[in-house]
Each structure stands twice: as structure tokens, then as C-alpha cells.
Chains A and B, each alone.
Chain A
Amino acid sequence: MRNPHCSRFGIDRRHALGLLSGSIALPFVSRAAEAPAAPVAIARCMDYGAELTPVLRRMFDQLGGLARIVRGKTVGIKVNLTGGPRERMGYVPAELAQYTHPAVIGTVVRLIGEAGASRVRILEGAFACSDPLEEFMLEIGWDPMPLLNAGARVDMENTNILGKGKKYHRLMTPRGGYIFNGFDFNHSYAECGVLVSLAKMKEHATAGITGALKNCFGCTPITIYGDGAGKDEPSVEGRGGRGAIMHSGVRQPPKSALPENDPKSPRQDTWRIPRIVADIAAALPIHLSIIDGIQTMAGGEGPWVHGTRPVRPGLLIAGLNPVCNDAVMTALMGFDPMADRGTPPFERCDSTLKLAEHHGVGTRDLRRIEVIGGRIQDWKMRFRGA
């Protein structure tokens, strides 16, 4: 039965009680206590020049070396190219605001190649389109060739569509999801032996923060989870954003994909997106998380968010667990990773960190996370005051 006091957001009583008590109503037993911890390396890096390679190399060494993670493996690198390629925050190029910088992408590709990866694939569900990722990069104003030549066997794929695969691959959340129990992905995510989330340090309008976890929201193909998705089957072409199915839940994915667990659950995007992101994190293991926080934006995830502004934290973050990684990032942004709904940066939304932690993906408790390379309190900045 709907709670009339919460009808504005379409939140029913069961979910509303969770919000009012400051906790998240969980449909299953929390795995937070057993959520693993992993070390996180942080480093100062003030620009995208020559400093980048030695700094990243040192960070990977601090994590035990790349070779033990990637040698002989196909490595998928999910980059963050959110929003349209010609959208900018004022005159600021996208790579200095909302996008992972190509210099970071190129350096990571090269180091992973040098560490013995058998193949590297740069992956992104490029905004609202089926264009080859190389063409999307050209539209940003980037030349994709240096990225393709950064290693021996490097290619790219726009994972919004079936692409080079013959079918979509279903990956399940091990113990059931908040909203989806599993997702159908482009073949690249199922075929890679190692998945790297190469994200940007940002806030987010509906998820509080962007980082390694939220970056993987863009792994979902828009032929299935986009506004132009088919009713019964995935569409052939990918068109439109992920508004109808994912953000507002006004329709279900095609019948070929798993439906929502509870179509009567709240339709509020600030309730749904953190949960969907946590579900994706449970279904799609991220082996290495890297966050570009050298130059970025504060106030939101893209220039379409009112009040965004450029910031220059001069930071890189890398870790082996995306929740731990994002918890450290959150702290470096001047927020408390243990914060719940109603407290910055989650004033309007639920905490993706908490939800992913309850899924057992990783801990957000800084007391359990070894931070290497520097101290959070030394490099912490105030994103809200930047």
C-alpha cells in the first residue's frame, strides 16, 4: 500500500520507513560485516604530463604489481565518458572535467600491456549511441590512435550494443539484487579475465559520488536498458539514454532480460540508481579500480548539472576493491564514506557505498582499509567548498 506522505517520490511504506530511520531497507541479509577490505594506493599527480607514468607505476607496485593481476589475461578497461561528446562545462574540455583523461587511459593501457596482458580492450557504453568508440573519441576531439597503439593488442568497443559478439551475456548478482538479480552485458565484460574500472573523481546528482562503482553503470547496453530498447528483444541500434528503465523505472527491460524484482518499488532515481549501481557491482566483479582525480569537476557528474565548476585535486587513486577505492575517494573529497542518506554527499540519495558494502562487495570502513602512498588527512580537499 502506498504511503500518501511519500507519494511525491512514489515510495511505499516499507521503503519509506527505511529512509525515515536513516537506514536502507534491505531485501536480504546484509553482508557488510564480511565485506572484504583491500589496500588503496593514493598519490599526488598535478598534471597529465610526464609525471603520470612513474606515479601510476609506483602505485601499481604498491598494490603488489600489475603482473600478478593481468599477466596472460584479456583486460577490459571501462573508462568514464559520460554524457555527450560535445558537451562541455564552459570552455573546459571534457577530459579536464567529466571524462577520464586520455593520457591516463593511454598510460594505464601501456602499463597493463607491459605487465603481460594478452589483450587490452577499452570499453564504454558511449552516450546514447551505437557509434564505434573510436568515432566517439574523435567527436570528443581526441585521436584514438595513440590509445590503440599504446600496447601490442589493443582494441575498443562501444558496449552499448551487441558489437563484435554474437549474443549478450547474463551476469548474476550472487545473492540476489536490490532491483535486478542480474544484467545482460556486451560480450566484452564476460570475456575479459580482468576488469578495470578507470573512473573520474566526481560528485553525482543521483548517486552522491561517481567513482569506480558508478562508472560501471555505463556497462549496461542501451539496446536493453536504454530508452530505445526493444519490448521483447534487445534493439539492434542503441539510441537514447538510460532514463526510462534505469532512472525512473517507467518501463521494464525487454522480455529477453531479467525484469526488476519488484516493479512496485520506488521510482525515485535517487533511490534506484544507487541500488542498481550496487547490483551491477555485485554482478560484475571489478578487479582493479583507478580514479583520475587530477583535474575534474565539483558539483556533479557532468556539465548538465547546475552549479558545476572545475577543480584540481591533483590526485590518483588505485585499489583492488571498488568499494574500498571509492570510500577513500569519498574521504579525499572531504566527505565521510560512512555517511548515510541525508548527509553529504548523499543528501538526496542513498549511499552506493553502503549498498555495495551490504552486498558484500567491499568495505567502506576506513579503519579496515590500508591506505598506501600518503595520508588522507594530508590531501583531503573540500569538494563542496572548492
Chain B
Amino acid sequence: MAPHQLVPFELPPDWNRPENLAPLDGAPFNCVLFPEGAAPSIAAAASAKGWQAYPLKQAPVKIREGVWPGLRLNQSTSESAGPTGTPWLDANGWVAQLARAEKPADPCWIRTEIPENASQQPEDMFLFAALEPVPYGALRVVALPPSMARPLGAGDAAMRSRWQGFCDLYRWMLAQCAKTSDWAVVARLGILSNFAGANEFISGEVLNLAARRNLAYRVLFKDRVQAEALRGLKAVLYIDVEPPPPPLLKLLDAFVASGGLLLSPPATAAKFASARAASEVHPRFHLRTYGRGRIAASKEDWGDPYVVAQDTHLLMSRRHDSVRLFNAGSLQFHHVAAPQGGHETVHLLNYTLRPSANPVSLQSWRTLKSAKFLSAGGREPVPLEIHKQSGYSELHIPAFPMYAAIELEI
């Protein structure tokens, strides 16, 4: 079976007898990863059922470390606010986007150690964790906390019933998102780096915080970016301590000269010797004009990634946001477009795990022919009324607990 077809499940440590595998019969998983020290009979039993079985450390797909998704809670369990003033979300979409850009031909798996306070987490968090990376074309190595794994492995009927629901929804999600797995992200910003070494932290955090701002981006790897990858972008954020090599510099030169915005550290901006100072003043950037475009030269090397993401968004302008969501402080979206055009999907992930108290609206500057809504587990998309205003259209999104897709015909 090809790596792309594998759906991984991490065997709980105390499922050490072949009969413990029974919950996986008919489940959507076909690749069992067993922990160090697991009984050989378990691997053999899994193989006998036609599944692939590997030690966790020898997984057939590179595993990226992620976080358990959700609202970060403080000690009083109230929703804590991040620097944006909205509740802080732990999310993995950026990890998946980075991995897929790095190795476009490879599948991406995300895994996180079971948290110490797992018993205090709602069961739905583990289901949501499984669903979360799927719209981004990635999979989580599904793992269950002891509070779920033990009764499930022991054949507890109530847990079996809930597990069945978990598997049904996960299977639905895999099928739903398969339709858009090769669609391109709708974004006007490219974030360009080697995403390694001295650039790894700041570039990763900027991806994370840009996503938190609902600032969509294409991840661009410095060593393989082509002119085609810059097509349609309004801005490129260059997050790399080393100036671009000559071929890349030539691409960026053409991008800016034709009207794009380049945000870069001082050393890279200095390569554009003929750029002229612009009249605008910015506290953290020297703004220059170059051809029909602009260069925003950071006055210092990149510092606070939150500020970098914020400045990038504002210098590029929210005018170029692909869609805008209202009452969506605990949502993230992933907006993708069909390669042949005409159809787009906005995947919505609700990190509160419960339907929003305040209904969410989606605003698009585009002319929409039709819009449909499908929430997790739904059979058929429901048509949404398009509320046309001067210059934009709005959709009123029904409440949903974890995931919904908005299918747009453009």
C-alpha cells in the first residue's frame, strides 16, 4: 500500500493482547504504529488483519510534531487571550502547510504526545485533533488517552458506541477533504524562507501567527521557488537571514518591479540599490519604491514574530484578504481553489468544539454564483442564501460544532 493511502493509528501502550485490536475492525485505519516494547504478537495480529504495522519510531511517513488543538485555558479555565486580544488557539494547520510545501509529493503526518492532563480533556478534543489537519491534506497519528483506550480495549459497550461515532465522522472527514486535497490555497501573500537553522523558529512562528490572524499564505521554499509560485501574489515576506541567491533575487526583482510588495530584512533590501525612499513613514520599516512595486526593508533583523505577521498583514493591506469572517474568534479557515477554477472551498475549523454562541458570517469580495454549507457528518450540502451588498457578498453560516465546509461557485 502506498504511503499516501495509509491512515495511521497509534496503539495505546496497554493494548498488549491481540483481542485489544478488535475496536479497529471496520475502523478507517490501516496502519498501526505500536510503541516501543509492544508485544510482537500485537504486530503480527495487526498484519494478519491486513493492516500495516510499524514501530512508532519506524513509521513509513515522516511524522511532524504538533500540538493538541484547542483554546488555551488558564488555571481558572477561562479562555485566555493572546496578543491579538482574541482567545489563543493552539493549531496545526501551519505545520501541515509547511510540510506539504517542503515535500509536495509526500504525505504528512502530525503527532503529539498524549498530554498529562488527558483525563481532564473532553473526548471531543481527541476527535477534533484527528479532524483538524485533514483539510490541509495532512493526517494526525490518531491516539487515544488512557481514559478512552482502557474501556475501549476492554470492550466497554458505551465506549464502543462512542468510538463507532468517532470512526464514522473521521471516515466522513477523510472522504470530504479528499475532494480538495490537491486544490491550491487562496492567498495573496507568499512567505519565503528555507525554514531551517537560524530561520526555523521565526519563520515557523510567523506561519502560525499569520494563520491566527486569518492571513492566508503560500509557503515558498527558497531553494525551489519558481516564477509560477509568485503569480497572483501581492506580497512576499522574505524571512531568511541570508540574502537570496542570484536566481531568486532576479525573480524577486521582477515581482517587485511589476507591482508586488517585498518585505525583507535590511541585507536583502540592500540588494535593490536603485529603490527610492517612499513618502510613507513606518516605525519598523524603511519603505521604498522600486519599479511599480514597493520594498519594506525592516530597520532591524526580524524580531517578534507576532509583530512581523501583523506588519506584513497591514503593509499588504486587508484589502487582499481572500474572505472575511465575523464572530469567528475561535475559528480558523483554510481557503482552497480548484485547479481549473470556478469552485472554491472554505474549510472552517471551530476550536471551541461547540456551536458558536454568536453566529458566524462570511464575507467575500468576489461575485458568488452559489454557496453551500456542509457540516461534519452531513450528507448533502445545504444551499446558503447569498446576501449581496455593494461591493461584496455575505453568507450567514449556520452554527456547527467542529468542522464545516463552505463550497463556493465563483
Interface set of A (CB-CB < 8 Å, partner B): 84, 86-91, 128-129, 131-132, 135, 138-139, 141, 143, 236-237, 239-241, 303
Question: Assuming the A-B contacts A84-B85, A88-B326, are A135 and B361 also in contact, with contact meaning beta carbons closer than 8 angstroms in the complex?
Answer: no
CB closest chain-B residue, reference A240: B85
Chain A to chain B contacts (Cβ below 8 Å), 12 pairs: A86-B324, A87-B326, A88-B361, A89-B358, A90-B359, A91-B359, A139-B318, A141-B326, A143-B391, A236-B283, A239-B83, A240-B85
Query: Is A128's CB under 8 angstroms from B85's CB?
Result: yes
**Bound Cα distance from A240 to B81, whole angstroms:** 10
How far, in Å, is B162 (CB) from chain A's closest CB? 33
**Bound Cα distance from A87 to B328, whole angstroms:** 8
Q: Given the complex, which residues of A lie within 8 Å of B319, measured CB to CB?
A: 138
Per-position binary interface string of chain B over residues 239-253, scored 1 when its CB falls under 8 Å from any chain A CB and 0 otherwise: 000000000000000
**Bound Cα distance from A143 to B327, whole angstroms:** 20
Query: Is B314's CB under 8 angstroms from A87's CB?
Result: no
**Bound Cα distance from A246 to B83, whole angstroms:** 20
How far, in Å, is B386 (CB) from chain A's closest CB? 13
CB-contacts of B343-363 with A (<8 A): 358-359, 361, 363
**Bound Cα distance from A143 to B389, whole angstroms:** 12
Query: Is B359's CB under 8 angstroms from A86's CB?
Result: no
Query: Is B317's CB under 8 angstroms from A135's CB?
Result: yes
B171 at the binding interface (Cβ < 8 Å): no
CB-contacts of B364-400 with A (<8 A): 391-392, 396
B190 at the binding interface (Cβ < 8 Å): no
Indicate the size class of the contact surface on chain B: 20 to 34
Interface set of B (CB-CB < 8 Å, partner A): 83, 85-86, 283, 307, 314, 317-319, 321, 324-329, 358-359, 361, 363, 391-392, 396
Query: Is A86's CB under 8 angstroms from B318's CB?
Result: no
Q: Given the complex, which residues of B lie within 8 Å of A239, measured CB to CB?
A: 83, 85
**Bound Cα distance from A129 to B361, whole angstroms:** 22
Q: Given the complex, which residues of A lie within 8 Å of B361, measured CB to CB?
A: 88, 91
Query: Is B327's CB under 8 angstroms from A88's CB?
Result: yes
Closest 10 CB pairs of A and B: A138-B318, A88-B326, A91-B396, A86-B326, A128-B85, A141-B363, A135-B314, A88-B327, A139-B318, A91-B361
Complex partner residue of B329 from A86, A138, A141, A143, CB under 8 angstroms: A86
Q: Given the complex, which residues of B lie within 8 Å of A135, measured CB to CB?
A: 314, 317-318
How far, in Å, is A197 (CB) from chain B's closest CB? 25
**Bound Cα distance from A132 to B315, whole angstroms:** 10
CB closest chain-A residue, reference B324: A141
Known: A129-B85, A139-B318, A141-B363. 18 other contacts (CB 8 A): A84-B329, A86-B327, A86-B328, A86-B329, A87-B326, A88-B358, A90-B358, A91-B361, A91-B396, A128-B85, A135-B317, A135-B318, A138-B317, A141-B324, A141-B326, A143-B391, A240-B85, A303-B358
Tally A-B pairs: CB < 8 A: 47
Q: Given the complex, which residues of A lie within 8 Å of B396, measured CB to CB?
A: 91
Q: Given the complex, which residues of B lie within 8 Å of A87, measured CB to CB?
A: 326-327, 358
**Bound Cα distance from A68 to B127, whole angstroms:** 67
How far, in Å, is B97 (CB) from chain A's closest CB? 23
Q: Given the complex, which residues of B lie within 8 Å of A240, measured CB to CB?
A: 85
How far, in Å, is B254 (CB) from chain A's closest CB? 28
How far, in Å, is B115 (CB) from chain A's closest CB? 30
**Bound Cα distance from A224 to B255, whole angstroms:** 41
CB closest chain-B residue, reference A134: B317
**Bound Cα distance from A84 to B330, whole angstroms:** 14
**Bound Cα distance from A128 to B361, whole angstroms:** 22
Q: Given the complex, which residues of B lie within 8 Å of A139, measured CB to CB?
A: 318, 324
Query: Is B325's CB under 8 angstroms from A86's CB?
Result: yes
Query: Is B359's CB under 8 angstroms from A141's CB?
Result: no
Q: Given the complex, which residues of A lie within 8 Å of B85, measured CB to CB?
A: 84, 128-129, 239-241
**Bound Cα distance from A381 to B358, whole angstroms:** 27
CB closest chain-A residue, reference B387: A91
CB closest chain-B residue, reference A161: B283
Query: Is A141's CB under 8 angstroms from B392's CB?
Result: yes
Q: Given the complex, which residues of A lie within 8 Å of B317, measured CB to CB?
A: 135, 138
**Bound Cα distance from A91 to B396, whole angstroms:** 7
Q: Given the complex, which residues of A lie within 8 Å of B363, measured CB to CB?
A: 141
Q: Given the complex, which residues of B lie within 8 Å of A88, measured CB to CB?
A: 326-327, 358, 361
CB closest chain-A residue, reference B281: A164
CB closest chain-A residue, reference B319: A138
CB closest chain-A residue, reference B328: A86
Q: Given the complex, which residues of B lie within 8 Å of A89, measured CB to CB?
A: 358
**Bound Cα distance from A143 to B324, whole angstroms:** 13
**Bound Cα distance from A369 to B289, whole angstroms:** 56
CB closest chain-B residue, reference A303: B358
**Bound Cα distance from A253 to B257, whole angstroms:** 47
How far, in Å, is B281 (CB) from chain A's closest CB? 8
| Chain A CB within 10 A, most for which of B318, B319, B328 | B318
How far, in Å, is B285 (CB) from chain A's closest CB? 14
**Bound Cα distance from A135 to B316, whole angstroms:** 10
Complex partner residue of A131 from B314, B324, B326, CB under 8 angstroms: B314
**Bound Cα distance from A287 to B361, whole angstroms:** 38
| Chain A CB within 10 A, most for which of B314, B363, B391 | B314
**Bound Cα distance from A128 to B85, whole angstroms:** 8
Q: Given the complex, which residues of A lie within 8 Å of B328, measured CB to CB?
A: 86
Q: Given the complex, which residues of B lie within 8 Å of A138, measured CB to CB?
A: 317-319, 321
**Bound Cα distance from A288 to B141, whole angstroms:** 63
**Bound Cα distance from A89 to B396, whole angstroms:** 13
How far, in Å, is A134 (CB) from chain B's closest CB? 8
**Bound Cα distance from A131 to B84, whole angstroms:** 12
CB closest chain-A residue, reference B85: A128
**Bound Cα distance from A128 to B82, whole angstroms:** 12
Q: Given the complex, which residues of A lie within 8 Å of B327, measured CB to CB?
A: 86-88
**Bound Cα distance from A60 to B335, whole angstroms:** 47
**Bound Cα distance from A87 to B360, whole angstroms:** 9
Q: Given the complex, which residues of A lie within 8 Å of B326, measured CB to CB?
A: 86-88, 141
How far, in Å, is A301 (CB) from chain B's closest CB? 16
Q: Given the complex, which residues of B lie within 8 Å of A84, measured CB to CB?
A: 85-86, 329
Q: Given the complex, which residues of A lie within 8 Å of B329, measured CB to CB?
A: 84, 86
How far, in Å, is A322 (CB) from chain B's closest CB? 29
**Bound Cα distance from A128 to B84, whole angstroms:** 9
**Bound Cα distance from A240 to B84, whole angstroms:** 9
How far, in Å, is A123 (CB) from chain B's closest CB? 19
